[in-house]
């Protein structure tokens, strides 16, 4: 049983079950037991669903006899499986604190659209995955629950801000996880933890029930054990939602089941001197390109779409939107007033007291910077210029995709860095996302695939980026590439120990 739920993908689990092996329901039950025992090692979950509640509400968890609950709904493509849900996604009756002291004790009164669609597919839910506060961080250290640890090496970051979900998947404590990707918050943790991270086109998956950080960038993403698993989840949750006006009316194409029927034109985006990779990562990227050439055929270099300005552009736009979105957390409706806000103080003093006590240092930094760039006298010099740079980047991607079907580039400059090593240097922390923010700024689909290990034994990866609404092609290409890397077979991986 242990080997099954630790290292099998959902696709292989279904195949094993069809041959008379353990069922997904039974494996999920063992997984929940393990999460209760092992979560303290990693901090992947900030809250685990009680077993009694899972039995009462979720078809993915077995009843006392090991079978699915009768009457829990018709079986769906994800029946018997269960996932982790990031702490900024609403699950009815569950904590939705976004990793912040300000929202501790807040329980969601409704389900996010993605959660509701997973329920319809038969999926259960294991618990709330830890995250950087309000999605603001690249290391999962900015949380009221403490840092999350990487299952490959507990002294290293799992990446952020969806690091809890990535750690849960890597440790074998979730079949998959739902995260949010604003500037790389799904793809970077996937890179650090050696799992697959998929961010669809902006507007492809509903954001209803996702606590907003930067509304023009936020995208619900998937952390999974394989590209096939990510595609299975994507098919269950993608599509138009009347509750979210930003979702697209573009039909969701089915993901291919099998090898590609043609070759793709793939463009290689090489880092420039300002974005140099660490030596082990550079060697791995070169090796990965050689393998990709065997899969895709001839590849050609394209003009670099990774420019040092991209992180700055992202920082300005995301922080400005964050300052606006987080203004609602003032203690009057959302947030804990606490004793410091009582005693007949003015509304202004109450808001200052609540936000000062409730927000962490990184959130305060981003609100202050975002307010500054939107202030009179500075907006034209910062925010407006950043918007113009974003439009130029979108045009550059469009020109690149007129000559290529897909782009391939690194996900990060090296493997996971030690916990605490960048807390005193915000600029170095922000630069961690230099390879992921371009696709976010352009609203493009992207997927991270693990490729190998660096000289410290930590995962490395490549990133595939496609044009808008090309998820089916992108996932098919990623699956073909994943089959050549065979990363999940590595003996030193957490799921194979």
State the SS3 of 105-138.
CCECCCCCHHHHHHHHCCCEEEEEECCCHHHCCC
Tell me the C-alpha distance between 185 and 197, whole Å.
9
Q: 462 in helix, strand or coil? A: strand
**Under a CB-based contact definition with an 8 Å cutoff, are residues 96 and 106 in contact?**
yes
Reduce the DSSP state of residue 311 to 3 states and report it: helix
Q: Strand, helix or coil at 280? A: helix
Tell me which residues are annotated as active site: 86, 161, 185
Three-class HEC string of the chain: CHHHHHHCCHHHHHHHHHCCCCCHHHHHHHHHHHHHHHHHHHCCEEEECCHHHHHHHCCCCCCCCCCCCCCCCCCCCCCCCEEEEECCECCCCCECCCCCHHHCCCECCCCCHHHHHHHHCCCEEEEEECCCHHHCCCCCCCCCCCCCCCCCCCCECCCCCCHHHHHHHHCCCCCEEEEEECCCCCHHHHHHHCCEEEECCCCCECCCCECCCCCCCCEEEEEECCHHHHHHHHHHHECCCCCCCCCCCCCCCCCCCCCCCCCCCEEECCCCHHHCCCHHHHHHHHHHHHHHHHHHCCEEECCCCCCHHHHHHHHHHHHHHHHHHHHHCCCCCCCCCCHHHCCCCCHHHHHHHHHHHHCCHHHHHHHHHHHHHCCCCCCCCCHHHHHHHHHHHHHHHHHHHCCCCEEEEECCCCCCCECCCCCCCHHHHHHCCCCCHHHHHHCCCEEEEEEEECCCCCEEEEEEECCCCCHHHHHHHHHHHHHHHCHHHCCCCHHHC
CA distance 315 to 323: 12
Whether the Cβ atoms of residue 497 and residue 480 lie closer than 8 Å to each other? no
| Length reported for the chain | 497
């Amino acid at each position: 049983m242990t080997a099954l739920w630790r290292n099998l993908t959902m696709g292989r689990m279904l195949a094993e079950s069809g041959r008379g092996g353990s069922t997904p329901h039974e494996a999920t039950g063992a997984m929940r037991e393990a999460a209760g025992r092992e979560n303290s090692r990693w901090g992947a979950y900030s809250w685990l669903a009680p077993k009694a509640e899972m039995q009462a509400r979720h078809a993915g968890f077995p009843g006392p006899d090991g079978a699915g609950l009768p009457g829990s709904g018709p079986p769906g493509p994800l029946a018997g499986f269960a996932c982790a849900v990031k702490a900024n996604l609403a699950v009815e009756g569950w904590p939705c604190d976004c990793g912040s002291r300000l929202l501790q004790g807040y329980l969601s009164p409704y389900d996010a659209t993605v959660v509701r669609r997973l329920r319809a597919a038969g999926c259960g839910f294991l618990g709330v995955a830890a995250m950087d506060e309000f999605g603001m961080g690249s290391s999962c250290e900015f949380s009221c629950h403490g840092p999350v640890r990487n299952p490959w090496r507990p002294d290293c970051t799992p990446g952020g801000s969806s690091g809890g979900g990535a750690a849960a998947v890597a440790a074998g404590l979730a079949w998959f996880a739902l995260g949010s990707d604003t500037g790389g918050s799904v793809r970077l943790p996937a890179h650090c933890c050696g799992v697959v991270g998929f961010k669809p086109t902006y507007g492809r998956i509903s954001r209803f029930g996702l606590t907003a950080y930067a509304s023009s960038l936020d995208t619900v993403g998937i952390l999974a054990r394989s590209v096939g698993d990510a595609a299975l989840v994507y098919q269950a949750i993608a599509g138009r939602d009347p509750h979210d006006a930003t979702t697209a009316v573009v039909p969701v194409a089915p993901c291919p089941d099998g090898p590609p029927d043609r070759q793709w034109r793939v463009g290689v985006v090489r880092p420039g001197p300002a974005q140099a990779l660490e030596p082990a990562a550079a060697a791995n990227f070169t090796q990965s390109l050689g393998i990709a050439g065997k899969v895709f055929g001839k590849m050609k270099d394209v003009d670099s779409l990774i420019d040092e300005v991209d992180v700055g552009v992202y920082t300005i736009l995301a922080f400005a939107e964050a300052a606006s979105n987080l203004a609602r957390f003032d203690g009057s409706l959302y947030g804990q007033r606490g004793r410091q806000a009582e005693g007949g103080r003015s509304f202004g003093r109450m808001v200052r007291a609540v936000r000062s006590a409730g927000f962490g240092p990184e959130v305060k930094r981003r609100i202050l910077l975002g307010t500054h760039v939107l202030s009179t006298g500075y907006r034209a010099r910062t925010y407006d210029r950043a918007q113009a740079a974003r439009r130029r980047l979108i045009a550059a991607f469009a020109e690149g995709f007129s000559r290529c079907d897909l782009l391939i580039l690194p996900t990060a400059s090296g493997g996971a860095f030690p916990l605490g090593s960048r807390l005193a240097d915000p600029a170095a922390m922000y630069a961690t996302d230099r390879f992921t923010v371009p696709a976010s700024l352009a609203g493009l689909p992207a997927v991270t695939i693990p490729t190998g290990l660096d000289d410290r034994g930590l995962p490395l990866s490549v990133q595939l980026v496609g044009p808008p609404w090309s998820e089916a092609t992108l996932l098919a290409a990623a699956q073909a590439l994943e089959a050549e890397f065979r990363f999940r077979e590595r003996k030193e991986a957490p799921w194979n120990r």
